[in-house]
Amino acid sequence: MARAKFLCDAERCIECNACATACKNEHEVPWGLVRRRVVTLNDGEPGEKSIATSCMHCTDAPCVSVCPTSTLYQTDIGIVLHDKDTCIGCGYCFYACPFGAPQFPKSTLFGSRGKMDKCTYCAGGPEEDHSEAEYRKYGTNRIAEGKLPICAEVCSTRALLAGDGETIGEIYRERVVHRGFGSGAWGWNTAYYPGDAG
Amino acid sequence: MSDAAGGVRGRDFTGYRIAGALSALLFLVLLAWQIVFMLGGGDTVTPEVAWSSAATEGPDTPGARTGGGTLVAETLTARTRLQDERFRTGPSAEGDVPERALDPGTRLTTAPLEDGSSLTAAWAVPDDDSAAMMHESGRVEGRSSLPYANAALFERPFARDWRIGMSDVITHMGALAILGMAFLLSAVLALRGRVPIRRGKSGRTVKRFGFLERATHWLTAISFLGLSFTGLAIAYGETLFVPLGARAMGTLGWWSTWGHVLFAPTFFLGILIMAVMWTAKNLPSRLDAQWLAQGGGFFSDDGPHPPARKFNAGQKLIFWSAILGGLVMVLTGVTLMFPFYWLDLGGMSWAMLIHAAIAVLLIAVFLAHIYIGSVGMHGAVHAMWSGRVDRNWAAEHHDLWLKENASDTEGAR
Ligand code: HEM
């Protein structure tokens, strides 16, 4: 059984933001929301690193647990999806998310929260696959076509890896052995192994 | 009606006591359900939807599925391989494209999954290779070119603790507190009966609360109840209403969210006027210690009630819960309505936790108040309804206040 994960090789990410841009374009993510972004650590200092981040599709996903309306749900390969029709914009998922992934449009009364939006692992939502409604609410559904998230597939340095966790783990480890260094799989401990985290 | 000691006794209210016993039974069942639910430990998130592969596309074979999960795994893993070094795999002259990686006919689709708990259990344990290559957990924040709040955040393990605080601790403790309080009050009604007017009603009344006092009380009370019901619908809706359908809960939740915001301003106005009107009469005094030491004379019909002015110690506690608890709720609530206006993500997380924790506590406390102001005490509700109370009631519960007002026979104050 496959387990979908994201892995960003911080030694390879060059902060080109192609992943973020491709994501925005692919799904026509509205103004003000970002499903994927790049964070730079130690900017301008020795040891500077950039990491592309988004929803990590956690194991025992905290957002799913705290959601009061069962808007969030997980699939059997780990992808966490959301149902825009039942979201009430309470923001609980945001407080429970270890990666700051859920996004809220400031479009409603009082400029407060609208319905949550987040990375779908390019797997759409509960609407019928490839329907107009699915595209409008969640963007394209590449998984249904057997493809992987656009952010990883466009990554020119292959820093951002998506797909089966075991396979991307192997690819990464081989790379680290080959080049002789690597700072590890950032975020994996928190995202995928909740009981294990120190 | 009366016994050897004379006068009305709590246990004379037979009808009330039967109703109390019945509702005690009901709440006991609900409490037991809550405890079973809590100890059931089913709080781990498990997958609810499974992918399968619809092998052929076309109108003739709608939903024809083959291979199930294995084919899905093979397809995605083959595609994953394309990200390996180009000399090894992938779209390059030398490499071999893994079978199925670029299959144009692929259609993967989802269907509900019965029980995904074994998947979560399997995912949660890293194999040795993965364990060795992980970067350790920790708070990581960097820099981002995006102009949005929290765009620079990479990782925040505290969020997992927040989830435990919210969905495990506060939700369960809140349910215990509210159901427990409801059970206790029902049991008190069943065993002890109502707090009686020992000498019966005199038929002569004295003015207790003016129009402004009553209007403010009911403004606050109705707002509080509105906030409670909408808040509880959000907090417990998933357990209580989702069996009716996720869509029903979505609609209910949406109305509750907006209703919740609408009741807040009137609640705030209510506690503000209350604070101005009643603070002076609710400052602690020496009488309060005596009143509390005697339990307010609540549990026994015998012996004199401890002396009290307009508000006894119990009422002062209720007053201060409303004012201080209410202020905390309003402050945290307004903070939550305008995310990151003055607090960062850490602060907002705490605001949410405090808002939820104080809310369930206040609901439990005000259950007790509503009880004593209505069925729990004979003659009490008139104070807030007509504004006048029976003289005998006043003499028993607020003797000093009655004396201060004794000069005017009909009590103009
Ligand atoms: C809906 C059911 C309620 C009933 C039947 C009720 C009844 C009463 C009564 C009869 C009194 C006067 C007690 C006396 O004569 O000394 C009172 C006082 C008061 N009520 Fe309520 N009340 C209700 C809800 C609430 C709520 C929800 C709040 C708060 C948000 C509240 C806050 C107060 C306060 C602060 C006082 C003055 C202090 C005290 O007497 O304890 N009440 N209420």
Cβ-based contacts of A174 with chain B (< 8 Å): 85
Pick A172's closest partner by Cβ from B46, B75, B133. Answer: B133
Look at residue B55 in the predicted model and tell me its pLDDT.
54
Closest CA to B238 of A72, A96, A84, A124: A72
pLDDT of residue B296 exceeding 70, the answer is: yes
* Residue B115 burial class via C-beta count within 10 angstroms: exposed 0-12, middle 13-18, buried 19 and up: exposed
Domain boundaries, chain A: 4-164
B275 shares contact with chain A (CB less than 8 Å): no
- The residues near B66 (Cβ < 8 Å, ≥ 6 apart) are B53, B54, B55
Residues of A in contact with B51 (CB under 8 A): 75-77, 143
Is B45 a member of any domain?
no
Please write the tens of the pLDDT for every residue from B37-63: 888 766 789 999 999 987 544 444 444
Q: What is the CATH number of domain A4-164?
A: 3.30.70.20
Query: Residue A105 corresponds to which tokens in the numbers above?
Result: 């449009």
Q: Is residue B160 one of the residues assigned to a domain?
A: no
Mean pLDDT, range B406-413, rounded to an integer: 48
Q: A39 vs A25, A49, A51, B110, B154, CA distance in Å?
A: 20, 8, 5, 33, 6
Q: What is the pLDDT of residue A110?
A: 46
pLDDT confidence of residue A154: 96
B313 in the same domain as B360: yes
Q: Whose CA is nearest to atom 27 of ligand 1?
A: B221
* pLDDT attached to residue A78: 96
* Residue closest by Cα to atom 7 of ligand 1: B373
The yes-or-no verdict on residue B233 having pLDDT over 50 is yes
Residue B352 lies in domain: 202-411
Q: Are residues B189 and B236 in the same domain?
A: no
Same domain, B188 and B307: no
The answer to whether residues B252 and B391 belong to one domain is yes
Give how far Cα B287 sits from Cα of A59, A100, B306, B392, Å: 57, 53, 8, 21
Tell me whether A76 touches chain B (CB under 8 Å): yes
Residues B251 and B392 in one domain: yes
- Note whether B365 and B307 are same-domain residues: yes
Q: What is the Å distance from ligand 1's center to A140 Cα?
A: 55
Mean pLDDT of chain B: 88
Cβ-Cβ contacts under 8 Å, A195 against chain B = 124-125
pLDDT at A182: 93
Return the pLDDT at B170.
94
What is the predicted pLDDT for the residue at A108? Answer: 52
Q: If you search the block for the tokens 């357990």, which residue do you land on?
A: B239
Instruction: Yes or no: say if B208 and B387 are a contact pair by the CB < 8 Å rule.
Output: yes
Between these two residues, B374 and A111, which has the higher pLDDT value?
A: B374
Task: Please report which confidence band the pLDDT of residue B205 belongs to, taking 50, 70 and 90 as the band edges.
Answer: very high
Can you give the pTM of this predicted structure?
Answer: 0.90
Number of separate domains in chain B: 2
pLDDT level of residue B11 (50, 70, 90 thresholds): confident
In a domain, B243, yes or no: yes
Task: Report the CATH number that the domain containing residue B276 is assigned in CATH.
Answer: 1.20.950.20
Subunit contact A59:B146, Cβ cutoff 8 A? no
Q: A residues 139-178 near B, CB within 8 Å?
A: 143-148, 152-153, 158, 161-176
- Whether B3 is in a domain gets the answer no
Are residues B240 and B384 both part of a single domain? Answer: yes
Distances, alpha carbon B295 to alpha carbons A160, B7, B292, B314, B370, in Å: 67, 21, 5, 9, 18
B221 with B249, same domain: the answer is yes
Ligand 1 contacts CB of residue B369 (under 6 A): yes
Q: Is pLDDT of B247 > 80?
A: no
What share of chain B in percent tops pLDDT 70? Answer: 91
Amino acid identity at B410: E
Mutate to test the interface with A, among B44, B46, B103, B110 (most CBs of A within 10 A): B110
Q: Give the ipTM.
A: 0.93
Per-residue pLDDT of chain A (198 residues; tens, 9 = 90+): 799 999 999 999 999 999 999 999 999 999 889 999 999 999 999 999 999 999 999 999 999 999 988 899 999 999 999 999 888 888 899 999 999 999 988 755 444 668 899 999 999 999 999 999 999 999 999 999 999 999 999 999 999 999 999 999 999 999 999 999 999 999 999 999 987 544
Ligand 1 proximity of B318 Cβ (cutoff 6 Å): yes
CA distance B274 to B268: 10
Residues B190 and B262 in one domain: no
Q: Does any domain span residue B318?
A: yes
Whether the CB-CB separation of B369 and B220 falls below 8 Å is answered with no
User: Would you state the structure tokens that stand for residue B144, as one six-digit string?
Assistant: 């981002």
Axis-axis angle for helices B14-39, B171-192 (nearest 10): 160
Considering the domain architecture, whether residues B344 and B383 belong to the same structural domain is answered as yes
Inter-chain touch B120–A60, beta carbons under 8 Å: yes
pLDDT above 50: residue B379 = yes
Distance (angstroms) between ligand 1 centre and the Cα of B24 equals 23
Are both B264 and B184 inside the same structural domain? Answer: no
B298 in any annotated domain: yes
Give the per-residue pLDDT at B338. 84
* Domain assignment of residue B262, yes or no: yes
pLDDT at B26 over 60: yes
Note whether B183 and B311 are same-domain residues.
no
Please determine, for residue B393, whether its predicted confidence score (pLDDT) is greater than 90: yes
pLDDT, one tens digit per residue, over B80-134 is 999 988 777 766 667 778 888 888 888 899 999 988 889 999 999 999 999 999 9
Q: Does the pLDDT of residue B168 top 90, yes or no?
A: no
